[in-house]
Copies of this chain bind each other. A is one copy, B any other.
């Protein structure tokens, strides 16, 4: 089913936030809409936690306050993203259906009093969410305020896996459907190991706590099943809404901050991708994590504009130390999202809530009220976004793809890997950060998709790689592409079974090398590699014993267990080139290597200052340089056109002040 509308009926960039008026009096509602207008808000998300106040008893709905609210918003020119509150069923639901509660790996029954969905496999829950979505959509499908539907909230957070009896029964059915026969199932799970052979589907359980490590194939399939069940809940709600409504339907992802959902599959089910993103305070360069999330949101949506459904005006409340944003930071964050394809900039939440677990989360209207730095900046941002209406609908293009495969990450994160120092997130970030600092925009991609449009494909952490996907990468290189593969890749197949022929065997032809043995380093141990150009590069955590099958050695281990043996290789294959990096290089080492790789791929760094983030959005008639200056010095961008925020013409260059932002409608750029 395709959505009749692919984008909310809004003019320009969407701006607003979650709005939870059920916590406030009618007087406050009226104050809110006045202030929303003042702040330039044109859309708010409503109803995300309202189940208990709408369906007041099973099957008994009271929409009176919501009727009033939607009318009020509409009268004041604020459109509505209408939520289904199914992430937080009411107390009466759990009292009536205690078996719908989630059970964790340790057998703990998750209680009421917080939030988080019920068992995604509970029949009672499934019935209740469809009833709610159907009733809600029937009532408001034609309401003029409603421009978007917002199903549930952050699927998979705070709980994903469920070990209840409902989940176990559904898991058995899911496995039976996937594998057909017990023989195929036993083979895929490798149950001959440790005597785990099954003779009946009903003997299979969820991978709950066990005396030792649970079968990794079981855990991997349970991760797939969990993702499937969550998505089945979404689809059930979406389809119930679609019967009545033709506005686009979405659910808010958590891009690179949640790991229970395969966003590639989810991207196919939503009409428009929306994402929640929060800076991770211990990360001194948290804006690079932001860029990853934004690029991933764009990529799973196939490059189409997407909505930043939630971020924060200042501090959040759930990190060890919740650092407040400083002056200008919220605008920089917002514009960076916009530059990477977001056509909506929304916040959690409009008005800070006085009670509950998130009272210390910042908001557009903070506890301190309108006379505050935050509200002043919110109002300025609203005005700025109003000036960027023409950017809406333009897109981002990239020459480089980084492979991002949730199934591989799930598999790699299981227990008993060669060393605790392995981290797919760390390697993704390292290669991404290298590109970010070099001013090179990238997409994320799956190893099995058509990659021919990219000049360079990087696989920082492709632990699980199926044989067909390995063939796809091989064909990509044969066709002229440049492929860089980092260590601990192509280790296992789709069942977490080591590839016949050993580690890296499926990429042996394209890379001209395979891996005889893993050589993890001791805690704190570092080791240098020496390039054929004589450079000494620092590395740590990991080495591998490589066997050459035609590749040229670009760097050799100068220390550690691999001392004297090949460390980094380059292989010509067909019309392209395959690189293999078998150790963890630091930022400087990666810099050296990537410049050789860029040359093979025919791309080059932007030459801009490292702290000046510039992304280009391509419209039908113009391009837009979105520039964000994260540095403490002014930065000059060579460009010609029109700076939209200040409304000034740009002849040759534009100076972005320290901490400032700019959007230049332009047709050409050079570095300063």
Q: Which A residues form the contact surface with B (CB < 8 A)?
A: 20, 22-23, 49-53, 56-57, 85, 88-92, 94-95, 102, 106-116, 158-159, 189-200, 202-218, 281-282, 314-315, 317-318, 320-324, 326, 352-360, 362, 366-369, 371-374, 415-421, 492, 495-498, 500-503, 514-523, 545, 547, 561
Contacts and interface: CB of A to CB of B under 8 A. Distances in A.
A195 B90 contact: yes
Given A326-B561, A354-B190, A360 B211 contact: no
A421 B321 contact: yes
Contact of A114 (B107, B198, B214, B369): B214
Shortest beta-carbon contacts, A-B, top 10:
A190-B355, A116-B211, A193-B356, A114-B210, A88-B195, A52-B197, A49-B195, A158-B212, A111-B208, A91-B203
B355 A189 contact: yes
Contacts of A502: 366-369
Contact of A111 (B109, B210, B352): B210
11 contacts: A23-B190, A53-B195, A92-B199, A107-B107, A110-B209, A190-B356, A212-B357, A213-B318, A321-B523, A359-B492, A373-B545
A496 B355 contact: yes
Contact of A282 (B159, B193, B519, B523): B523
Contact of A212 (B115, B323, B514): B115
A418 B322 contact: yes
A190 to B, nearest CB: 2
B418 A23 contact: no
Contact of A23 (B193, B326, B495, B500): B193
A116 B416 contact: no
A53 B198 CA distance: 9
B111 A209 contact: yes
Given A91-B199, A358-B416, A368-B516, 9 more contacts: A20-B192, A23-B192, A88-B195, A91-B204, A159-B211, A212-B357, A282-B522, A323-B520, A373-B516
**Copies of this chain, tallied across the complex:** 3
Nearest to A57: B199
Nearest to A514: B368
Contact of A518 (B109, B315, B320): B315
A208 B102 CA distance: 13
A434 to B, nearest CB: 25
B194 A357 contact: yes
A95 B199 CA distance: 11
Given A92-B203, A108-B209, A209-B111, A520 B357 contact: no
Given A190-B23, A416-B357, A516-B373, A198 B91 contact: yes
Nearest to A51: B195
A257 to B, nearest CB: 14
A85 B196 CA distance: 11
A502 B359 CA distance: 11
Query: What does DSSP make chain A's interface, helix, strand, loop or mixed?
Result: loop
A44 to B, nearest CB: 16
A353 B196 CA distance: 14
Contact of A113 (B111, B218, B322): B218
Contact of A354 (B113, B204, B497): B497
Contacts of A317: 416-418
A233 to B, nearest CB: 15
Contact of A419 (B53, B190, B320, B374): B320
A232 B636 CA distance: 72
Given A20-B192, A111-B208, A210-B111, A418 B517 contact: no
Given A195-B50, A356-B194, A215 B90 contact: no
Given A215-B114, A360-B518, A90 B197 contact: yes
Contacts of A94: 203
A360 B108 contact: no
A372 B516 contact: yes
Contacts of A192: 20, 22-23, 49, 53, 355
Nearest to A496: B355
A502 B421 CA distance: 44
Contacts of A318: 213, 416
Contacts of A514: 368
Contacts of A116: 210-212
Contacts of A522: 281-282, 321, 323
A196 B372 contact: no
B498 A354 contact: yes
Contacts of A218: 113
Given A114-B211, A356-B215, A91 B547 contact: no
A109 B353 CA distance: 36
A56 B186 CA distance: 14
A519 B320 contact: no
Nearest to A113: B214
A212 B323 CA distance: 21
A112 B322 contact: no
Contacts of A111: 205-210, 214
A108 B106 contact: yes
Contacts of A323: 520, 522, 561
Nearest to A214: B113
